[in-house]
């Protein structure tokens, strides 16, 4: 099992969710986060005054899946969230040792 963590722009959420639904991804956790990468924050103008935003708002998606589905999910996220601009986001894949469905006690792939 693998845990896919994707950091994307907030306005791309619906597009990414639709792309994941199309390949039958049934579970997804979304968290609002702030951070920066190469874009190192940005300057914005609000009511005529310029101010610096050190942390850019993003969304963190977490998807627990069977290892065989990882590449298809990565491709769907890249296609849906990508614009070719700095700040499109990142995708991380980590090993998932165990999963347990609390309601039924099912474990691992059966719990996904």
Q: pLDDT in tens for each of the 112 residues of the chain?
A: 999 999 999 999 999 999 999 999 989 999 999 887 776 656 656 666 666 667 788 999 999 999 999 999 999 999 999 998 888 999 999 999 999 999 999 999 999 8
Instruction: Extract the runs of DSSP E, i.e. beta strands, from 1-112.
Output: 2-8, 29-35, 42-46, 49-53, 56-65, 89-95
Question: Which fold does the domain 2-111 belong to in CATH?
Answer: Alpha-Beta Plaits (3.30.70)
pLDDT for res 37: 78
> Could you tell me the pTM of the whole model?
0.85
pLDDT for res 87: 84
Domain ranges for the chain, please list them. 2-111
């Amino acid at each position: 099992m693998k845990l896919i963590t994707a950091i994307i722009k907030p306005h791309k959420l619906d597009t990414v969710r639709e792309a994941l639904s199309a390949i039958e991804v049934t579970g997804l956790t979304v968290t609002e986060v702030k951070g920066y990468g190469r874009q190192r924050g940005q300057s914005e103008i609000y009511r005529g005054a310029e101010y610096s935003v050190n942390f850019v708002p993003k969304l963190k998606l977490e998807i627990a899946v069977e290892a065989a589905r990882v590449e298809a999910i990565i491709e769907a996220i890249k296609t849906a969230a990508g614009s070719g601009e700095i700040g499109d986001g990142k995708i991380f894949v980590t090993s998932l040792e165990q999963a347990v469905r609390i309601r039924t006690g099912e474990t691992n792939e059966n719990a996904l």
